Structure 1
Amino acid sequence: MTDTRSRGVHRMFDMQHVHRDLRRHSVRGAFATLLSQAGLFCVQLAGMAVLARMLTPAEFGVFGKTVAMIGFITVLRSGGLSLATVQSAEINHAQVSTLFWLNLALGLAAAALLAALGPLMAWFYRDARVLWLVVAMAGSIVTDSLAIQHTALMQRQMRFATIGTVTVAARIAGFLVAFASAWLGAGYWALVIQYYGTSVTMLVLMVWNCRWLPGLPRRGVGVRPMVALGANQSGFNILNFANRNMDNILIGRFVSDVALGFYTQAYRLLLLPVGQINAPISAVVLPGLCRLQDQPERFARFYYRALGAITFLGMPVVCFLLADAQDVIEIALGHRWLPVVPMFQALGVAAFFGTFNVAGGWVYSALGQTSRQLRQQLVVTPLTVLGFLVGLPWGALGVAFSFSVTRALLSWPTLAWCYRGTPIRMRQTAITLARPAAASIAAGVVLLALHATRAHWPTYWVVLDALLYGVAYLAAWFLMPGGRANLREQAQIVQELRAGKR
């Protein structure tokens, strides 16, 4: 029994089978992850549609402002230690076991700190409901911290099919308990129950499928450099969370719960498809880049190809959503959510640049340069928050516009800083981004022109709009210089994905 367990533990940390055929593992991982993300997108879209009809915008707003505030503390639960597990060229059972117990200690400390700060958060929002929401959410931090290293180990082994299946199952479980509690009249508490349903299911299934149990923590096993790497990553995560959530805090405090409910749903709906594209590709790309960190030319080729893939898919999705915003909102959320449309469109530029906002993180994480990433975020976050404050006098819509403006202005300088001293070049990145951007915008213009020349079609004809947009998008690729060659490359990627499936 001991020998069998030892062989299993050894296999969990042995990366030779991945190194021998990185391309095959990457392709299979990409196919499995894209397939699972397609399922996750359907689950999340359906879940959002049902909950939007069961709960009011104000109830979403109460939960949204609470989550925005507590997130600064919840990001501490990982300590960036999952990146240390994925990024390290070699790692062993003793090291991961020690990291597991560090994650649990961080989770317990973050939960205690969060509960203690509950009264302060309720005072800030001038809303007693926030206190009990904060206390209730504290326990979920501990649950999440228990699954961090198991997930990281499976990412390291490129077991993306399993990760995807577990994620979809956990999200379904969360929505089901949320539907039941909302139907019974739980109100905004249904969103808390949803979070717990997802978190507990994720923990149980991750531990079961990983089949790894931690040993006792030990000193002198070489985790100090990993902790330093994780500390930089954790600092970046906190600043990045502020970058993405200070708008929610300001709207929740200085505008209204209803306005925040509209804003958060607009943001979620617009960024949902982008996340379903970026997250799976990133899950595959990052381990692959980590394995290539000592091979600059292969690193760069792999990076540009991945960047081209996420923008080829993401940019047209964002442009279509903006061109058909009203019909999309009415179908996804219902008629009473139509006030979301202006905010949805105002956030469009931010979402468009967000299609490749993960690209810098790939480089920092794969090359172990999280200290430079932290320094960058120390500049980006204050500028973004300043933009929110400038837009705040015009309410949630002003904040949405300011977010788009700051994202557009900061995107290029942050990439230039990221690429310094790496094999990635700005010129090649610009070439990679230019074609999908031009094709997406051109197709959006064609669709808007068609809207202007016809009577309004029924809302459910949005499917026909999507088909027309798709035809215009592909036509733009055929017409632009070098477009056909790029389409052939994308087709080759699809063929490789199909081969990976077999």
Structure 2
Amino acid sequence: MTDTNVGAARHALFETDHLHQDLRKRSVRGAAVTISSQAARLLMQVGGMALLARLLLPQDFGVYGKTIALTGFITVIQTGGLSLATVQQAKISHGQVSTLFWLNALLGLTAATLVAVLSPVMGWFYKDPRVISIGLAMAGVVLISSLGVQHRALLQRQMRFTQKVSGDLLALLAGFVAAVVSAWLGAGYWSFVVQQYTTALVTLVMLYGFCRWVPGLPRRGTGVGPMVKLGANQSASSILMFANRNVDNILIGRFVSDAALGFYTLAYRLLLLPMQQINAPLSSVMLPALSRLQHQPKRFCRFYYRALGAIVFVGMPAVCFLLVEARSIIELVLGPKWLPTVPLFQALGGAAFVGTFNIAGGWVYASLGRTDRRLRWQAIATPVTLLGFFAGLPWGALGIAISFSTVTVLLVVPSLRNAYHGTPVDLWTTAKTLARPAFASIGAALVLWAIHASAPHWPAQWVVLDALIFGAAYLGAWLADATGRAHLRDLVGVLDELRTRKG
């Protein structure tokens, strides 16, 4: 390839003018790719989780979980929020992204050093020497992950979702295979460390293979100052959000037991799995698309509410079904030794239900470059959540789970109000978008619960029949009146469009 061609290829990585011409087509195609990949991802995650749950003890999940809960506060800084800066900016250059790449590498090295240095402190805090060795080992994963941040951001900016998704799936599969083999060979909690290294290395190789971009040397005067500020606000918000999601693990690991944390961790992961399959990949499509529409308020709103309606149409019934079928699913997927997870699973239900649409506020903050406002909100929400954790601690893991759900539900309206202030979207339209799937999901759950209550010896193996009953009740609620049928037709039209674009 000649120097001219290399320069043109490099230039194409940073330009997005061509995306405006077919933004809808690219967004639909990206959604089709990401959604269709979730079946494979879900199968891998459920299968890997089930195998590891049978090969390892709850204590193994607990000791690894409490280590990650503390190291995570440090590893969050490895990106510095700089991936968002690359995706969100209307115009970027090779020099800017090169400078951001080296900043990410420096942040990764700093975070890895902090993890290694603070590992003895973590061991002292938990009074568990195993934490020291796991923390030291995980430092390398932090550094490896930081080297692919900008390559991933460039793929997302260019809406090249096929490459991004295929790389993620291969890395996920490789990580689970490595973990399962390690657990089968008797590695115990070290299986999770093996999984993290394998996933990180395969991810890095795939990113470099798909995004053939070689960073230049960092330079002054490239204009990255505002981008770094945007990323810093995002990174600070992420640290506070990480506290929201992980201080509960720290408290359970320190003051209750490793086994209790293992049960809590599996309940949390299994319950959040449906949302992760929907929210995370769709967000990777929504962020670049909404960023391109930030100066077109009408198109922004229409795009936003169609996407929000799509995720709750699937996410809300998935959560409600899991809550009713908690015992059967945990017994079938994880095995009888994990049945103490059931009450924790159900106690987290409120947080999981709200979590089906809480991501919508993040779309607004990120796409409109309002990370400073997000940081201010997190500075309020995080202390409230932490107080809830401490309030529930005397009742152990179950008390913490109940307090987490309660606080999450109470904060949802103030959270969205803060995100929407001064933007084209509003709380009332969001409420109307959420109302139908919420009532339909809860109604279908009550129907299934009533059937179980009237037949207390209903076999766990009949979970497929339960799914059919739940699905019929859920769709029936949509078809009951003209408004519901109109919304359903619109959603079916979106799905048909996805299938057409995919073909």
TM-score normalised by the chain length of structure 2: 0.99
What does 1:231-246 correspond to in 2, within 5 Å?
231-246=232-247
Match of 1:38? 39
Per the TM alignment, residue 454 of structure 1 is displaced from its structure 2 partner at its CA by: 3.1
* Alpha-carbon distance between aligned partners in 2 of 1:272 and 1:336, rounded to the nearest angstrom: 20
* Alpha-carbon distance between aligned partners in 1 of 2:396 and 2:108, rounded to the nearest angstrom: 35
* Alpha-carbon distance between aligned partners in 2 of 1:24 and 1:161, rounded to the nearest angstrom: 14
Matched, 1:139 2:124: no
Per the TM alignment, residue 118 of structure 1 is displaced from its structure 2 partner at its CA by: 0.9
Match of 1:341? 342
* Alpha-carbon distance between aligned partners in 2 of 1:266 and 1:335, rounded to the nearest angstrom: 14
* Alpha-carbon distance between aligned partners in 2 of 1:398 and 1:35, rounded to the nearest angstrom: 38
Equivalent pair of 1:36/1:161 in contact (CA under 8 Å): no
Match of 2:178? 177
- SS, match of residue 427 in structure 1: helix
Per the TM alignment, residue 480 of structure 1 is displaced from its structure 2 partner at its CA by: 4.6
The answer for unaligned runs of 5 or more in structure 1 is none
Equivalent pair of 1:37/1:164 in contact (CA under 8 Å): no
Residue type at the aligned position of 1:238? I
- 1:248-282 C-alpha deviation (Å, 9 max, x unpaired): 00000000000000000000000011110111111
Per the TM alignment, residue 453 of structure 1 is displaced from its structure 2 partner at its CA by: 2.7
Per the TM alignment, residue 150 of structure 1 is displaced from its structure 2 partner at its CA by: 0.6
Detail structure 1 runs of 4+ shifted over 3 Å in the superposition: none
Per the TM alignment, residue 459 of structure 1 is displaced from its structure 2 partner at its CA by: 2.2
Match of 1:220? 221
* Alpha-carbon distance between aligned partners in 1 of 2:106 and 2:27, rounded to the nearest angstrom: 33
* Alpha-carbon distance between aligned partners in 1 of 2:86 and 2:333, rounded to the nearest angstrom: 38
- SS, match of residue 466 in structure 1: helix
Match of 2:376? 375
* Alpha-carbon distance between aligned partners in 2 of 1:313 and 1:215, rounded to the nearest angstrom: 44
Per the TM alignment, residue 357 of structure 1 is displaced from its structure 2 partner at its CA by: 1.1
Matched, 1:80 2:100: no
Residue type at the aligned position of 1:401? I
Residue type at the aligned position of 1:207? Y
What does 1:55-454 correspond to in 2, within 5 Å?
55-454=56-455
Per the TM alignment, residue 203 of structure 1 is displaced from its structure 2 partner at its CA by: 0.4
* Alpha-carbon distance between aligned partners in 2 of 1:75 and 1:417, rounded to the nearest angstrom: 24
- 1:289-311 C-alpha deviation (Å, 9 max, x unpaired): 10000011111111111111111
* Alpha-carbon distance between aligned partners in 2 of 1:223 and 1:479, rounded to the nearest angstrom: 54
* Alpha-carbon distance between aligned partners in 2 of 1:420 and 1:179, rounded to the nearest angstrom: 47
The Cα RMSD (Å) is 0.9
What does 1:450-489 correspond to in 2, within 5 Å?
450-454=451-455, 456-480=457-481, 482-489=483-490
Aligned residues: 502
Q: Percent identity?
A: 60
* Alpha-carbon distance between aligned partners in 1 of 2:213 and 2:500, rounded to the nearest angstrom: 30
Residue type at the aligned position of 2:401? A
* Alpha-carbon distance between aligned partners in 2 of 1:127 and 1:320, rounded to the nearest angstrom: 38
Q: Which moved more, 1:209-218 or 1:97-106?
A: 209-218
Per the TM alignment, residue 17 of structure 1 is displaced from its structure 2 partner at its CA by: 2.2
Per the TM alignment, residue 35 of structure 1 is displaced from its structure 2 partner at its CA by: 1.2
* Alpha-carbon distance between aligned partners in 1 of 2:418 and 2:77, rounded to the nearest angstrom: 26
* Alpha-carbon distance between aligned partners in 1 of 2:335 and 2:441, rounded to the nearest angstrom: 27
Q: Which moved more, 1:7-16 or 1:394-403?
A: 7-16
Residue type at the aligned position of 2:487? N
- 1:192-231 C-alpha deviation (Å, 9 max, x unpaired): 1011111100000111011111111111111111000000
- SS, match of residue 107 in structure 2: helix
* Alpha-carbon distance between aligned partners in 2 of 1:370 and 1:486, rounded to the nearest angstrom: 33
Per the TM alignment, residue 13 of structure 1 is displaced from its structure 2 partner at its CA by: 1.4
Residue type at the aligned position of 2:312? T
* Alpha-carbon distance between aligned partners in 1 of 2:288 and 2:427, rounded to the nearest angstrom: 23
* Alpha-carbon distance between aligned partners in 2 of 1:30 and 1:37, rounded to the nearest angstrom: 11
Residue type at the aligned position of 1:351? A
Per the TM alignment, residue 458 of structure 1 is displaced from its structure 2 partner at its CA by: 3.0
- 1:170-206 C-alpha deviation (Å, 9 max, x unpaired): 0110011111111111100001101111110000011
* Alpha-carbon distance between aligned partners in 2 of 1:353 and 1:284, rounded to the nearest angstrom: 21
* Alpha-carbon distance between aligned partners in 2 of 1:53 and 1:480, rounded to the nearest angstrom: 46
Per the TM alignment, residue 455 of structure 1 is displaced from its structure 2 partner at its CA by: 5.5
Residue type at the aligned position of 1:8? A
* Alpha-carbon distance between aligned partners in 1 of 2:481 and 2:257, rounded to the nearest angstrom: 47
* Alpha-carbon distance between aligned partners in 1 of 2:193 and 2:481, rounded to the nearest angstrom: 49
Residue type at the aligned position of 2:102? W
Q: Which moved more, 1:443-452 or 1:381-390?
A: 443-452
* Alpha-carbon distance between aligned partners in 2 of 1:132 and 1:81, rounded to the nearest angstrom: 30
* Alpha-carbon distance between aligned partners in 2 of 1:500 and 1:84, rounded to the nearest angstrom: 29
- SS, match of residue 355 in structure 1: helix
Equivalent pair of 1:376/1:414 in contact (CA under 8 Å): yes
* Alpha-carbon distance between aligned partners in 2 of 1:44 and 1:301, rounded to the nearest angstrom: 33
* Alpha-carbon distance between aligned partners in 2 of 1:481 and 1:429, rounded to the nearest angstrom: 20
Matched, 1:500 2:501: yes
Equivalent pair of 1:240/1:381 in contact (CA under 8 Å): yes
- SS, match of residue 358 in structure 2: coil
- SS, match of residue 222 in structure 1: coil
* Alpha-carbon distance between aligned partners in 2 of 1:94 and 1:40, rounded to the nearest angstrom: 35
- SS, match of residue 358 in structure 1: helix
* Alpha-carbon distance between aligned partners in 1 of 2:482 and 2:445, rounded to the nearest angstrom: 19
TM-score normalised by the chain length of structure 1: 0.99
